[in-house]
Structure formats: structure tokens, C-alpha cells
């Protein structure tokens, strides 16, 4: 898993960011706050919110003993209730981390909700991401029921989903620049795949010098870290929280 064995990436990311600091404006918080409005920007923010937190929340709900169909309904019901009640306004007031805030809200929802009244049937919910897409990995990534708590499932799925989004953004950039083959090789290298090619083999395969591949991979890792920090910055309230959240992500992946 990317960054799982790279504790230095957190500290190194902090040093590299000094030259190009993240500008914390309302646009970073908008991924949360704009999700409550009817504008195209708000719809995009809502979609990102759902893509990042649907699987962690669904996993938490499943661990409560619900079957898959009920868990789908409850997860959509949670998102709808959260947005309808404008509960996300309090995230700004509390200046908290969205990850922690949503988990606390979810626990209250599960404890107090009348399921027959609040569950939103599939097809009637407001989640703008197809359920089949969100659930496509469930068949192959079910955690053993006797090893992980609901909180651990939520945390780990949050971390894995965030890293998946970072890698997707990076892949899009490389493909747009005509470097799809290079990305495919570096993706395996970053994930420490056992059957990955060496940098010398990559150079031979792509018709590059080994030094050029080494430099390209260095740029790849730097951009990966930049995107990771950007993704985290979208869900925290202050610049100082980014570093703490990044360290937390690494700790979750190492558990």
C-alpha cells in the first residue's frame, strides 16, 4: 500500500510544502460546506464527499450486524439526513476533522434513528455515485468479522479510499501528458509489488536511460505526496491539521 512503509513522507511532505504552502481558503472547506447547495460546484463537492466516505460508513454499518441491503439503505439515509439537517455547518464551527466528525455523527445516527423511517431505499437516495461502483470492491475486500472493530473498518477504509483517489488523480495527470506506460510501471513500484520491474528494466522497456527513470520516479513520488496533502487539506480546518492527519493515515495503514 502506498505510504504505508514511508513514515518519512509525512515529515518530508512538510518540508517540501514550505516552498509552496497550501492556501487554506473557503475553497478547501467547500468540499464539505458546498455539499448543501443546489449549484454544480455543490454537486461536485457532494460527489467527492460520497466517494471518500461511502465505503468507510457502509463498512461501519455492516459491522453493526446489518445485512448488505439494509446497510446500503442506512448509509444513504445517513448522508441524506446529514445534508437535510445541515449538520455539516457545525464542522466549520468546531474546526474539526471531517473524518472524526462523520464517525461521531454516524454513531449517533445508528443509535437514535428509526430505521423504517430514516432508511432511504436505493433509487430514492441523494447519493450521486452509482451504488454498484461504490460497492464494486466489497466482494474482494471484506475484512474478517472477528478481527476488526467497526471503528477500525471505518478508519482503514477511509485511508485506503483516500489513497485510491490520490493515485487516480496522478494517473489522470500522467495519461493526459502521454505517460501512461510510465505511470503503470511506477504505480507498481510505489505499491511495492513483488513482481514489479526494476528501474533498469523499466528503462530498457521504455527506451529510457536508467538515470532518467530514477529522476522521473523521484518526480512521481513528489507529485504523489503533493496530491496526498491536497486531498487531506480538503477535509481539515487548519494548515496544522494536515500533518497530524497524514501521520494518522500512515498509522492506520500500519495497524
Is residue 132 located within the same domain as residue 35?
yes
Is residue 1 located within the same domain as residue 48?
no
Cβ-contact 120, 81 below 8 angstroms = no
Burial class (CB within 10 angstroms; exposed 0-12, middle 13-18, buried 19+) of 211: exposed
Domain of 171 in residue numbering reads as: 1-22+152-255
The domain boundary, picked from 114, 142, 170, lies at 142
Say how far apart CA 122 and CA 214 lie, in whole Å.
Answer: 48
**What angle, 0 to 180 degrees and rounded to 10, lies between the N-to-C axes of helices 98-112 and 150-176?**
130
The domain boundary, picked from 123, 142, 161, lies at 142
Question: Is 147 within the bounds of a domain?
Answer: no
Asked whether the predicted pLDDT for residue 251 surpasses 60, the reply is yes
Question: Is 112 within the bounds of a domain?
Answer: yes
The domain boundary, picked from 113, 142, 171, lies at 142
Is residue 200 located within the same domain as residue 240?
yes
Is residue 133 located within the same domain as residue 231?
no
Cell of residue 123, nine digits: 433509487
- Tens of pLDDT, residue by residue over 20-68, are 444 434 445 556 666 666 677 777 777 788 888 988 999 999 888 888 8
Say how far apart CA 51 and CA 237 lie, in whole Å.
Answer: 20
Is residue 90 located within the same domain as residue 109?
yes
Is residue 92 located within the same domain as residue 193?
no
Is residue 10 located within the same domain as residue 86?
no
SS (H, E, C) 118-161: HCCCCCCCCCCCCHHHHCCCCCCCCCCCCCCCHHHHHHHHHHHH
Cα–Cα distances (Å) from 89 to 35, 39, 127, in that order, read 10, 17, 19
Backbone angles phi, psi at 157, to 5 degrees: -70, -35
Output the pTM of the full model.
0.74
Is residue 41 located within the same domain as residue 131?
yes
Is residue 194 located within the same domain as residue 237?
yes
- Tens of pLDDT, residue by residue over 68-96, are 888 888 888 888 777 766 666 665 555 56
Is residue 46 located within the same domain as residue 5?
no
Domain count, the chain: 2
Amino acid at each position: 500500500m502506498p505510504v504505508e512503509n514511508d513514515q518519512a513522507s509525512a515529515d518530508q511532505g512538510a518540508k517540501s510544502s514550505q516552498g509552496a504552502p497550501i492556501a487554506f481558503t473557503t475553497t478547501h472547506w467547500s468540499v464539505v460546506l458546498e455539499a448543501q447547495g443546489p449549484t454544480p460546484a455543490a454537486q461536485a463537492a457532494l460527489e467527492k464527499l460520497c466517494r471518500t466516505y461511502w465505503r468507510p460508513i457502509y463498512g461501519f454499518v455492516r459491522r453493526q450486524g446489518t445485512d448488505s441491503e439494509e446497510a446500503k439503505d442506512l448509509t444513504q439515509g445517513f448522508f441524506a439526513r446529514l445534508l437535510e439537517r445541515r449538520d455539516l455547518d457545525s464542522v466549520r464551527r468546531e474546526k474539526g476533522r471531517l473524518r472524526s466528525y462523520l464517525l461521531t455523527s454516524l454513531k449517533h445516527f445508528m443509535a437514535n434513528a428509526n430505521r423504517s423511517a430514516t432508511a432511504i431505499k436505493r433509487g430514492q437516495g441523494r447519493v450521486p455515485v452509482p451504488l454498484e461502483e461504490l460497492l464494486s470492491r466489497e466482494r474482494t475486500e471484506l475484512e474478517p468479522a472477528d478481527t476488526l472493530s467497526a471503528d477500525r473498518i471505518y478508519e482503514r477504509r477511509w485511508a485506503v479510499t483516500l489513497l485510491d483517489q490520490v493515485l487516480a488523480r496522478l494517473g489522470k495527470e500522467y495519461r493526459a501528458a502521454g505517460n501512461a506506460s510510465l505511470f503503470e510501471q511506477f504505480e507498481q513500484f510505489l505499491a511495492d509489488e513483488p513482481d514489479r520491474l526494476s528501474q533498469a528494466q523499466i528503462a530498457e522497456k521504455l527506451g529510457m536511460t536508467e538515470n532518467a527513470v530514477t529522476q522521473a520516479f523521484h518526480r512521481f513520488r513528489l507529485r504523489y505526496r503533493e496530491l496526498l496533502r491536497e486531498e487531506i487539506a480538503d477535509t481539515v480546518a487548519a494548515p496544522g491539521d494536515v500533518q497530524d492527519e497524514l501521520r494518522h493515515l500512515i498509522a492506520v495503514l500500519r495497524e
